[in-house]
Chain A
């Protein structure tokens, strides 16, 4: 399904002859089409946004969270936001909904997933409700209509984002530590005994082979990205009294210790202690982290492990590196897509969808 959408949201826009990205911008600011969930006045959607319009657009019943592009299969995979139980497989070329996958009985999704090195299997973070909220990694066979073929124990409550390590054999898993059960909604059931961590799971054996506890029991490790050299950057959302003044972003290499990224003497840059998305560039030189509650995006230098810059962007959440244009793409709750180029002090507008709230995470159609 294709759909062009030009919503005239405010009175000011009514006096303008046209909407969308200006011809000048369209000429200069290019970007690879992004995959995202979004909400607007009409409901909740998933799809692909190209230039100034939805190239693929699908309305869904619940809010989506993360997504991924299965390149070999030309399919988009969308994950429901917790405690959703649906995964949507969409034809990336024609936009049709191919499958709606439901989690196995007794499980729900946490909103993230990743593919095996050969693209055969899909791994998702799940809550084993029937197992009293134990964290689990669902395994799905992409070649068999994404049928669930099993679960692996990730040995931690609340696994959230996960990524395949460059060795192709290991999953890096951000263990949020927060126990919830659908019967009590999103209420944290273990506020005093959380054990957030970074776990590495060996896919072949299904065993957790390396684990690093978060430096504080309330420092919920939720999102991560992995560089091509295996550097893991992981971000936290503090569950205690704010601000925590604890480092929120950590770097890790297999076998080493969890190392706090340094933001010098400005701990209160982060008043709300909440990292939404993490994205590392193709060269492993920079990472960005979005902080929607503090209305800013941080740029990190991965070699010095230092904060390099801070960019104000209201309600910013989605972040993904767009190698084709050597830029990070950021999305926000205001409907803006902006480019962050590390050598530039200001963000560059890419697109604007008035009335649309881009949801937490972006991925690329590439």
Chain B
């Protein structure tokens, strides 16, 4: 085996140094390189569990919807709403992953239609209920993504006009509304399970595609190309939180001016802040590979940037604290520009984005996007 990292000069040192070098070489021969360790740990400890949680929580949601519709009750709808929230939490854990099966064939759109500027969800869901079409899972799969997924379920469960027990118990359309609730929940579980299966080693094994890079790998010719996708995930995720989930709907940037509150994610359920928190926790887990060998360790060991590694983790934590300190739902904030907690969160998330977008790519030696930044 070639020893590219050790020069001949070093090997001419004392016996002790030689022994040490030999020990290092044998260790290197047995264990995978740090970049591969990052890919394996992050996939196994952050990505795969996130898909598993999403699949399981959507299954529990489907069961709750089914049981609610067999005998509509206020406890039943409350329980279904709780499972919807848990599923939003778990979806927020995979929403920002910028690689793999989620990106193929508009999977994300089947799960969430947002923002809904033209109020398409309400219109299309009501039109489907009014029609005489069969409301099966298959029908939902063929239908527009607008009536699919968590956004459609949010409308069915939380809309102030139709998302209450009354709509499921006492109206002419109750049966069809319930049938739609069940069909959309089942369909969502199908999508979530499909994504989990696509990653699982026992099934589609995208895990292998993402972790075993090389010339024969169609997508990832080396570890750096795969690592770049982790970097993209962190940056795109925090950018989405800052711009689309926070500043723009609340009108906190000078260029956008006034609040556009209906652009908030999950405004009907007033669950916007919670989803941001779930996003941030998931993104931090991607950075650290949970307790495994993550980008944080890679930064410290390979790039000698333990300072930046610690700084990024602290900034994730302070952003999370600032999000948790917002006492009200974002939707109910009367004057966002004057609410101190919102401004405090904005400051934290801005600092986090800057660390991920400017400092991290430089430290990793991975370009965030050569052509993306071109501007021509």
Interface residues of A (CB under 8 A from B): 8-16, 18-22, 24-25, 39, 65, 81-82, 110-111, 160, 186, 222, 241, 245, 265-266, 268-269, 272, 274, 276, 290, 292-293, 295-296, 310, 312, 314-317, 332-336, 345-349, 352, 354, 357-360
Contacts and interface: CB of A to CB of B under 8 A. Distances in A.
Nearest to B224: A10
Contacts of A345: 104-105
Interface in B285-322: 302
A347 B372 contact: no
B371 A316 contact: yes
A292 B145 contact: no
10 contacts: A11-B302, A39-B370, A81-B374, A241-B256, A245-B117, A269-B109, A292-B369, A310-B105, A315-B367, A352-B221
Interface in B116-171: 117, 120, 144-146
Contacts of A111: 376
Given A22-B215, A25-B216, A265-B146, A10 B35 contact: yes
Contacts of A14: 2, 4-5, 33
A272 B371 CA distance: 13
Interface stretch (B62-70, B79-87, B88-96, B225-233): B225-233
Most chain A CB within 10 A, of B105, B222, B248, is at B222
Given A13-B222, A245-B117, A332 B35 contact: no
Interface in B2-51: 2, 4-5, 33-36
A359 B224 contact: no
B232 A295 contact: yes
B255 A354 contact: no
Contacts of B105: 310, 345
B208 interface: no
A332 B224 CA distance: 14
A145 to B, nearest CB: 27
B4 A265 contact: no
Nearest to B100: A312
B4 A292 contact: no
A336 B221 contact: yes
**Which 3 A-B residue pairs are closest in the complex by CB-CB distance?**
A333-B370, A317-B371, A357-B370
B371 A357 contact: yes
A348 B218 CA distance: 6
B327 interface: no
Contacts of A295: 98, 232, 369, 372
A8 B371 contact: no
Contact of B222 (A10, A65, A314): A10
Nearest to A240: B255
Most chain A CB within 10 A, of B34, B120, B232, B371, is at B371
Contacts of B99: 312
A339 B16 CA distance: 52
Nearest to A274: B372
B294 to A, nearest CB: 16
Interface string B183-224: 000000000000000000000000000000111101101111
Contacts of B109: 266, 269
Nearest to B244: A271
Nearest to B302: A11
A65 B376 contact: yes
A360 B375 CA distance: 10
Contacts of B372: 272, 274, 292-293, 295, 315, 333
A359 B215 CA distance: 22
B332 interface: no
Contacts of B228: 314, 334
Most chain B CB within 10 A, of A24, A268, A296, is at A268
Given A14-B5, A22-B216, A315 B224 contact: no
A12 B36 contact: yes
A24 B216 CA distance: 8
Given A25-B216, A266-B109, A349-B221, A15 B33 contact: yes
Nearest to A39: B370
B229 A314 contact: yes
Contact of A310 (B106, B229, B302, B375): B106
Contacts of A314: 225, 228-229, 232, 369
B325 interface: no
A346 B369 contact: no
Given A19-B215, A22-B216, A354 B221 contact: yes
Most chain B CB within 10 A, of A186, A222, A265, A358, is at A265
A277 B242 CA distance: 29
B363 interface: no
Given A290-B371, A292-B369, A292-B372, 7 more contacts: A13-B222, A65-B376, A269-B106, A333-B370, A334-B228, A347-B218, A349-B218
Contacts of A316: 371
B103 interface: yes
A12 B222 CA distance: 7
B216 A266 contact: no
A40 to B, nearest CB: 10
Nearest to B98: A295
Given A347-B218, A352-B215, A276 B4 contact: no
Interface in B316-368: 367
Contact of A12 (B5, B106, B223, B255): B223
A114 to B, nearest CB: 17
Given A312-B103, A352-B215, A9 B371 contact: no
Contact of A293 (B146, B225, B369, B376): B369
A293 to B, nearest CB: 5
B222 A292 contact: no
A334 B106 CA distance: 24
A276 B255 contact: no
Contacts of B232: 295, 314
